[in-house]
Structure 1
């Protein structure tokens, strides 16, 4: 299957949606080229709005469009979508019970050369605090297309973390997705790896292979929807394997790991380890170098899984 730029899949899917639903609109903050939505603007000139470098206004305009019956997909860098426009998204969109689809591009270390100022490690944590908000992060082009369509059909606000760069496919084209329902990529009985996004889901799959070479069976879950969390799936694998490693391109505080730990602490306390950013700021670097620096790797997932399995046996 073909490796595709995620932003190209984003635009192509929105064009497909817009062809059959005149309510679909694209709202940008002077980033149509970066987000890949110039083709949408060219095909639907009256339904592609550029508000300029004004992210709070991006959300405000989108809220107004939603109030008028439109379905706006508003995209900007994840740092601006979350930190800069948080109040507007909280009040004008979510508190008002509207239907704004906010998209934060270049999440976590994928911001790379834009550096620490543009590297959101905390956006999921912020967004999880908004009542009723649905939060998703696709891991490949197939899941992106399916989850975009699911977000468009969902009545209510959503926040999507969008990896813009080219990503190798994980899923077959006919794979089905539903908001709030994680995917079991492979089964296992010794440890569960719960991963999120285009960087860490592939790393979790690599870790599964490394563990298999050591005689350890690891289950791998793609928890593409952080909120609402697929609690039934998490609980079933916590009971089955007895230990869990979460992996995310985000601060472990407030992100996927925190969501899983919070749920299990109340229902089925389970030994856990978390791979993710450990209370640090971002910095400039290639994605590969940043993965190594912040330990967002298959090796780190494997190391923590081994420690949990050993502790469980002891």
Structure 2
């Protein structure tokens, strides 16, 4: 079982690149430990800015540094980064077209027992609604590294959400197909199509394996690029399927499921089921306990597919 969380993978890439590129600067809001950034701060103190618990300042300072030619990565818990600094994100980063990558750590229900104040179940919808903002939810450590490498090559604003805990690998280090802003097709099947993002990709893939044992064949799309979303991949998968299931660690409103439903209804109307967190404060527990309770695991996803094929 993998023991490297995606946040650590981000730090590893940034450390490797920062050694050769002095324009890379990382900022955080009293969260270097939570973000696995302690090694970076120790190795590159002149390329690290600690702003304290001040998320609005974090984003505005990052935008200012970007306007001075820096490649700024602003890191903070997703629950705060996507809400407390929303205006700064909209105006200073996206509207001003600055080279800032916002990294929301401990996304979704990663903080578990800390409850609704520390959950980020609205960030996909909120960030996607901002013009000029790209939204990414990488599924494992290998894809995370490819994503950071790619973001370092452009000068556009982006928001990344990663969880707190290690997730089981979806890919292999030497076999991680990646194309910027293009979904990855993990399995092919004509019975159903599952479109998942972030930590939901692995259980979606496991669900496909369970269903295959029962003679049900499904396509699984790793939609790490929620915005811009890969419309063509969704249309291809939907045309070949009887039902489409979207899976996300997010509110049922305005996230991946809403986007998939819109595209399918426009291009090839079929039944779309959105598996997501409820429109209510979620139960208290670890990520796994929450996922199990709401059917956001392999068994729950497989059950949903079977129920909607009957």
TM range (shorter): over 0.9
- Pick closer, same or farther for the CA change 1:73–1:145 going to 2, 3 Å: same
Distance 1:92 1:25 in 2: 17
SS in structure 1 opposite 2:41?
helix
Once the two structures are superposed, residues 144-178 of structure 1 have per-residue CA deviations (whole angstroms, 9 ceiling, x without a partner) of 11111112223210000011322222212132322
Distance 1:112 1:224 in 2: 23
SS in 2 for 1:277: coil
- Aligned positions of 1:167-182 closer than 5 A: 167-174=167-174, 175-182=176-183
Which region of structure 1 is more displaced relative to structure 2, 6-15 or 227-236?
A: 6-15
Tell me if structure 1 keeps the 8 A contact 2:59–2:85: yes
- Answer yes or no: is the 8 Å Cα contact 1:246–1:257 preserved in 2: yes
CA deviation after TM superposition for structure 1 residue 34, in Å? 0.9
Q: Is the 8 A contact 1:143 1:177 kept in 2?
A: yes
User: Separation in 2 of the partners of 1:38 and 1:233?
Assistant: 38
Deviation for aligned residue 1:283: 4.8
More displaced 10-residue stretch of structure 1: 243-252 or 55-64: 243-252
Q: What are the equivalent positions in structure 2 for 1:6-17 lying under 5 Å apart?
A: 6-17=6-17
Secondary structure of the residue aligned to 1:33 is coil
- Contact 1:111–1:118 (8 Å) recurs in 2: yes
Greater displacement, 82-91 / 151-160:
151-160
Aligned to 1:135: 135
Higher helix share: 1
CA contact under 8 A between 2:2 and 2:167: conserved in structure 1? no
Matched residue, 2:153: 153
Bigger shift: 285-294 or 81-90? 285-294
Q: Secondary structure at the match of 2:102?
A: strand
Query: Counterparts in 2 of 1:79-118, with a 5 A limit?
Result: 79-118=79-118
| Cα distance between partner residues in 1 of 2:282 and 2:19 | 39
2:308 maps to 308
> How far apart are the structure 2 equivalents of 1:86 and 1:128?
12
For the Cα contact (< 8 Å) 1:275–1:300, is it kept in 2? no
Alignment-derived partner of residue 261 in structure 1: 261
TM-score normalised per structure 1: 0.94
State the secondary structure of the residue aligned to 2:83. helix
1:273-302 CA-partner distances (Å, limit 9, x unpaired): 111112122453122221123321222211
Give the secondary structure class of the aligned counterpart of 2:292: helix
State the secondary structure of the residue aligned to 1:32: coil
Structure 1, unmatched stretches of 5+, are none
Partner SS for 2:46: coil
The one-character-per-residue Cα deviations of 1:180-223 (angstroms, maximum 9, x if unpaired) are: 1011111111101111112x111111211221122110111110
Question: For the Cα contact (< 8 Å) 1:116–1:284, is it kept in 2?
Answer: no
Residue equivalent to 1:164: 164
* CA shift in 2, pair 1:58/1:183, >3 Å: same
After TM superposition, give the deviation of residue 22 of structure 1 in Å: 1.7
Equivalent residue number for residue 198 of structure 2:
197
Q: How does 1:1-314 map to 2 (within 5 A)?
A: 2-174=2-174, 175-198=176-199, 200-310=200-310
How far is 1:2 from its partner? 4.9
Q: Work out the CA distance in 1 between the residues paired with 2:242 and 2:294.
A: 26
Q: How many residues align?
A: 309
Q: Is the 8 A contact 1:26 1:74 kept in 2?
A: yes
User: What is the rounded CA distance, in whole Å, between the counterparts of 1:209 and 1:172 in structure 2?
Assistant: 18
Task: Give the deviation of 1:258 after TM superposition.
Answer: 0.7
Deviation, structure 1 residue 106: 1.1
